[in-house]
Each structure stands twice: as C-alpha cells, then as structure tokens.
Amino acid sequence: MAAKSTKKRARDNGRPVVIVESPAKAKTINKILGSGFVVKACFGHVRDLPPRAFGIDVDHDFAPTYRTIRGKAKVLTDLRGATRSASEVFLAPDPDREGEAIAWHLVQALRIPDGKARRVTFNEITRKGVLDAFHRPGEISMDRVNAQQARRFLDRIVGYKLSPLLWKKVGRGLSAGRVQSVAVRLLVEREREILAFKPEEYWTVTARLAKSEGPEFAAELAKVDGREPALKAGDESRKLVEELAKETYAVADVQQKERIEPAPPPFTTSLLQQQASIRHHFSAARTMRIAQGLYEGIRLGDEGEIGLITYMRTDSFRVADEALVECRDYIRQRFGERYLPETAILRAKRKGMQEAHEAIRPTSVARTPDEIRAFLTDDQYKLYRLIWNRFVASQMKAAEYRLTEAQIRAGRGLFVAKGRELRFDGYTAVLGHKSKEDSPLTRAEPAQSGLGAGGADDVPSSARVKGEQILPALAAGETLLLRDLLPTQHFTEPPPRYTEASLVR
C-alpha cells in the first residue's frame, strides 16, 4: 500500500492541482481537464471559529481565531501532500462568498505561496465554462472573503449573546442567530395578528345571466342606489335578492381593453425556492440540494458528467449573450417567429442586485427535460423542468388578453360581469396561464397537466384562474335572462400563516 501511494505521488509530482468542494464536482471537472491536472475535493469548509469558545476578539478589530474543523485534519494532510510539489494550485470552490472564503482558508491552512495560488470560478460546469475559467484565472477577492467573515462573526456574536438568554428563559438547547432570530420574529408577529383577528360576516350576491341563446355567465352585485352594498346579515341579503329577482336585467354599458402580460424573468434563488415549494412542496433546503446536483454534473450516457444548470445561488436576472442566442434560436424553431420578440429581453438591474452571476438557467436549452429524463431522478427532473420552462418562457413574447367589463342594471341594483379572453398565448405556450396558485402567499397542489416542449409543470390551465370567464358579445340596452340569483355568506379571514415559500419571499 505504501509503495502504491509513493508511485501515485511521483506520478502527480509537478502537475497543477485543482481543489473543489465536492467529489461529484471533482469528478465532472476531472473529465473536462483531463490527465494534465490533479483534481481534489476539500469537502466544504476546512476551518471555522472554535465550537466551544467565542473565537472573536472584539477589542482588537474583531480578530478571529480559526481552528481546523473536526474530521478535516486528514483531508488537509492529503491536500498538503498534493499541493506541496504542484506547479500551480487552482482554487475552484463555488463562485460566491462562501466559496471565496473556502479558497482563502485553504491558502492559509495549506500554506500555499501567493505566486502559486490561482482562483478560478465558473458559472456553469460545462466544457466551455470550465476551460474558459482556467484560461483566465484570477486572485482571491478579499472583499468577498471579508463579507463572509462579517456574516459568520454576526452569527457568532448574536448566537453567543442571545442563546444563553434563551436557555435561561425558554429552554436548553435552543439557539439564536442573525437569520433565524428575525424569522422567528416574523412568525410571532403574524401569529399575534391571527390571534387578535375578529372575523366579520358579509354577504355577496351573484346573478347567473344569459342571452336568449348561449351559455350562462356570472355578474356580481356592485352597487345599490349608487353605493357599494354593505350586506352584513342573511335576512337583509335575502330581502334584497327577493326584490332584485323581480327586476328586468339590461346591459347598461360595455367596456373592452387589451392587456399585455409580459413574460416572467428567469429564476433567481428565492424565486426558484418559492415556485419549487408551490409546485412540488419542496423545502428550500431540498430545492438547493437538488439544484447543487444539477449544477455539479449529471452523467448523460456517453456524454459523461455534464452540469445541467448554471450556479444556483444568485439574485441576478442577467443572462449570457450566447445563452440568449441559443434560446431565441430554439424558440424560433420550436414555436415560430410569431413567438419571438424582435430583440432579446434584457431585465433591468434591481437595486442591491449582484451581477457577478447569471440567473438560474439550463446550460443548454437543447437538452430539453424530456430528452434527458431517463438520466434524472424524479426530483431532478421536476426541478430541471421548472428551470428549463421558466428560462425559455422568459425570452418569449407577452401573452395578450382582451378584458371585458359589462355593467348590468336591475332596478336599483347594478351588477358587474368581468371576462378575460386569451388573444395570443405568447410565453404561456410554455409556462401556462397565471393563477392564484402562482403566488407564494398560498400553497397550491402541483399542476397535473403540461404544455410546451419540456412538459411544463407549473402550467395551470386557464380554467383554474379563479373567476375567469369569457363573456358573450353584449351591447348596451340589451335585455338579459336571469337564470338564478344567489346570496352567499362570507367571513373576513385573518392573514394566512407563512408557508416556506411566502417566508422566503
């Protein structure tokens, strides 16, 4: 065994070493770079503040004391042996603050000379993405390292000050931190609102109307004697219904307007977590775990391991030019010129947004979800399909609707009927029509049917949009038939408890 290790070290001697976080990522990158590099995994962070001491000297510029994480000594020994004789050391953890801090800690722990360390980052683990990164290696960004350290110090400072108080006042074993403490406050404030809420009764009146021929449609009572109705009791509502049932129903006015509904942007991390929760009931942690696997690489038969999505921790809507070109070519071929905007859709940078990363997108639109389904687990397929559909839809033309509002007079009552008719499906050819379920404020069942090339999962049909109807052609002065008049009892409701999606939002 010792002889075998010696031979391996001799074979590796002088070759550049690449260090990444996970074995899966190392395997994918090793296949891309080939035998000219030694690719190693550090298994995440290798140093941290001591677990049983404060570890920060707040009186001396917040100087930290770092210790090797328990269980990582053997990893560091292996990495020291690999990097000692390496011509160069490429530090390739993820392209975010945590990844930057891991790279810095590796330099410190392995005592890598400044001239030997190179920082490489890639937004996608594809052959092009990896080789481009190695052609332009950079330096460790101390601004990012310090940003990570500041967050870590806050966790420690808040935790060490608040946790003992929790143990004394609430119970042993509880912990406080810079994030969960604020989240708990949000939950408590919402619960207090719910407990303080007192429901109030109110009634609505709906008329089922029709022309002499054709289907029925609904109209809601909007005004009585020119004012909004304040129906607080059943007796009052039933008395009004008895009165209105004897009246003649005639169209007083019809207004129509066109509405343009632009395509949604591609996913950021929080938007992906929200939609994965709504559509598949995935927790935020589960979503990120699946996305990490899709990013690091999936074996696609003879193609080998390929990263299927770009980096999944991002708050940016930016998309690489070559990805926009590929997506537009796909839309042109799959749906036709009618669905393609004249130019690529570029989203404005939001305040506070970091532009270092792209939005979350497939590394190649050509890999449709159904074509690679055989290589994915059910969870991977669901999440990849969500990301693929959203990205393709984000570069399609807007959906166009015709909105109709008819005012219908009945004695001293005025009813309003609203209709929405799809004139051009645009991006909904892939993503489907928006519905209440798309909001993270409610939890929806996953859609059961799909549209579009990838088999869209977040595709509720237009029939699922609450209250949506197509009105018949109506003209002012036209008399309608009253089919039914329905009073309905309601109670005001407290704000809902947070779902994981709405809390993330």
The pTM (predicted TM-score) of the whole model is 0.82
Using DSSP, state whether 443 is helix, strand or coil.
coil
- In whole angstroms, what is the distance from residue 427 CA to residue 264 CA? 9
Q: What is the mean pLDDT of residues 381-403?
A: 97
Predicted confidence at residue 468, as pLDDT, reads 75
Identified catalytic residue from 249, 295, 311, 330? 311
**For residue range 255-288, what is the model confidence (pLDDT) as tens digits?**
999 999 999 999 999 999 999 999 999 999 999 9
Tokens of 439: 């909001």
In the structure, what pLDDT confidence band is assigned to residue 467 with cuts at 50, 70 and 90? low
Distance CA 432, CA 279 (A): 13
| Mean pLDDT, rounded, for 289-296 | 95
Q: DSSP label at 86?
A: B
- What is residue 441's predicted lDDT score, i.e. its pLDDT? 40
d(CA 245, CA 482): 8
309-336 CB burial, b ≥16 within 10 A, e <16: bbbbbbbbbbbeeebbebbbebbeebbe
SS3 188: helix
Q: Please, which pLDDT band fits residue 504 given cuts at 50, 70 and 90?
A: confident
> Residues with Cβ < 8 Å from 336, sequence gap 6 or more?
none
Token digits of residue 202: 């109110």
Please check the confidence at residue 141 and state whether its pLDDT lies above 80: yes
- Three-class DSSP labels, 265-328: CCECHHHHHHHHHHHHCCCHHHHHHHHHHHHHCEECHHHCEECCECCCCCCCCCCCHHHHHHHH
Please state, in angstroms and as integers, the Cα–Cα distance from residue 177 to each residue in 57, 156, 498, following that order.
19, 8, 20
Taking each continuous run of H as one helix and of E as one strand, the counts in the chain are: 14, 16
Residue 1 has pLDDT above 70, yes or no: no
Q: What does the pLDDT average to over 127-138?
A: 92
* CA–CA gap between residue 413 and residue 240 (Å, rounded): 9
pLDDT (average), residues 392-406: 96
The question of whether 330 is a catalytic residue gets the answer no
Work out the percent of the chain whose per-residue pLDDT is above 70: 89
The pLDDT, as a whole number, for residue 6 is 46
Residue 505, pLDDT score:
80
Averaged pLDDT for residues 202-223: 94
Instruction: Map tokens 């007192």 to a residue.
Output: 198
Query: Phi, psi (5° rounding) for residue 364?
Result: -150, 120
Residue closest to 68 by CA, chosen among 43, 49, 54, 82: 49
Residue 280 has a pLDDT of 94
The side-by-side arrangement of strands in the sheet containing 38-41 is 38-41, 17-20, 89-91, 117-119
Rounded mean pLDDT, 18-22: 94
